[in-house]
Chains A and B, each alone.
Chain A
Amino acid sequence: MSVAGGGGGTSSVDPKQTLLLGLIGGLILLYLVPFVPVLGPLFGALGAVLAIIWGADAIARVASYGLGTGVPSIGYMSLAIGIVGAVAGLTGVVIFGSGLELLGPVFGVVLAMIVGAIVALVGTKVIKMKIPILVRCTVELSGAAAISVLGFSAAIAGSLETAAILTTVITTGYIGLLFILNTMAIQHPFNACLGPQEDRTRTLKLAASTGFISMALVGILGIGVNDIWWVITIIGAIAWFVSISAFIQSSTEDAASVAWTGWWPEEEM
């Protein structure tokens, strides 16, 4: 249980699990893109979904302390940091010499986490915000944001190369869409579920559904760019249906009054 504004509280999900899932799982899936023939972009999209689930857990942990600015604000800030890191990583990786372009995404994620840490330190040291886990969660959120943007970018472009992402995601303006889409996917689950009876497993089921519906949309953006856009869309849509059903199921189960007494009889409605 965790109450928005109360802070702390126990979570039914271990933060280390989501961290491993998002950071390690997300990065591994992201790097399958250039190495798996044909189906590569699908793994990029799945990596982004894992990162979104990780981000949703991190935002739930930090926002349960009550930021005073609402849950979405830290989501927008982290996505902004994530995009700065991702784009700077992709374009700036050449400083390590040529032939190392594939390091770009990891460099971007690291840059995003560093900027996230500094901005959060500004929050705690200069603005004197009293949230003990602000730095850790902002770092996690920035990393999740960067991986989710890179994963969806790779799913659209069909490759992890800077030039491909630059022409198909950034020049077309899809990067702006990913900015808002990923922010929504990361911040909405906790924003919708917060309250005294918030159950993290249920929140993360909603996070999976927002992630997968974003994946379905991202597949559509890939029309004309990569050949397996329809696989991404269909798998995203099916997974969305499964996860939103699971979320609705557990919401109904947790709604004690409904579970215990049932709906009122048809004729009285």
Chain B
Amino acid sequence: MDPLILIGAVTVGGVLIGGGVHFIPVGGAPAAIATATGVGTGTAMLAAGSGMTGLITAAAATGSPLELVLLAGAAGAALMIGITMLIGNWVYIWGVGTVPVSAKVTKDPITGYEQEKYVTPGTEGHGIPTVCFVSGIIGGLLGGVGGGLIYYFLYNGLVELPAFAVAAGQTVSVPAAMVAGIFALAVFFVNSVVASYNIGGTIEGFHDPKFKRLPRGALACIIASLVIGIVGVLLLQGGAV
């Protein structure tokens, strides 16, 4: 495979992942004690959960055409972040006893529900209101597509090499799938943390004023992914096997 295609795929994938992070309601420590909107953990953990699930579903579609791998990755990552937000909301609603509400907007942009009245004074909101949930699903879809894209091109580049070729009688080359998977996961982590630095740790979704930092985050992710993509070309050397 042409190394430039791999570099391009890693860069585009990295930007999709980094961009996706800006959509995910990362609440951080304040959300963990229900004093801010979002899932109560950091980006790295959300990236680990949704990124790994997305890559596992993308890897399950190994050997399929590109669009199927991307779709599988997107479905896996979005499903995982969706489940995380849903179960988180159950805890916030029935465990903590708060109303899912955002203090960043007066009305939920999607449902139009009043927000201000339900925000506990002194807090930034609680739980995951509809707009955050929808935003989070979009973020999961973007991240999953990005991860799937990197996985697909690296896997297909690797199986062309003798060391990673598909063994006779098998349909998938496990070594190639593992190398592609771990590399895609690494790109996932780097971009999600870079994006997380850009948003200063926490964000609610596309309605959050911090979302305006997206272009700067995308630029940072382009540079970081480009460098990782160039290093990734070395993988296509296949080692001294």
Contact = CB atoms under 8 A, between A and B. Distances in A.
B201 A179 contact: no
A192 to B, nearest CB: 15
Contact of B240 (A68, A111, A127, A163): A163
Interface in A65-81: 67-70, 72-77, 79-81
> Contact residue range for chain A?
35 or more
B194 A95 contact: no
Contacts of A175: 178, 182
A176 B183 CA distance: 10
A49 to B, nearest CB: 22
Contacts of B179: 87, 91, 166, 170
B239 A127 contact: no
Contacts of A77: 44, 189-190, 193-194
B189 to A, nearest CB: 4
A53 interface: no
A85 B231 contact: yes
A242 interface: no
Interface residues of B, number: 47
Contacts of A84: 183, 186-187, 190, 228, 231-232
A162 interface: yes
Nearest to A175: B182
B93 interface: no
A247 to B, nearest CB: 25
A72 B48 CA distance: 12
Interface of A: 67-70, 72-77, 79-81, 83-85, 87-95, 98, 101, 111, 115, 118-119, 122-123, 126-127, 129, 161-163, 166-167, 170-171, 173, 175-176, 179-180
Given A77-B190, A91-B179, A92-B234, 10 more contacts: A68-B201, A70-B28, A73-B43, A77-B189, A77-B193, A81-B186, A88-B235, A119-B194, A122-B224, A170-B182
Interface pairs A-B: 7 shortest CB-CB: A92-B234, A80-B189, A80-B186, A68-B201, A91-B239, A77-B193, A162-B239
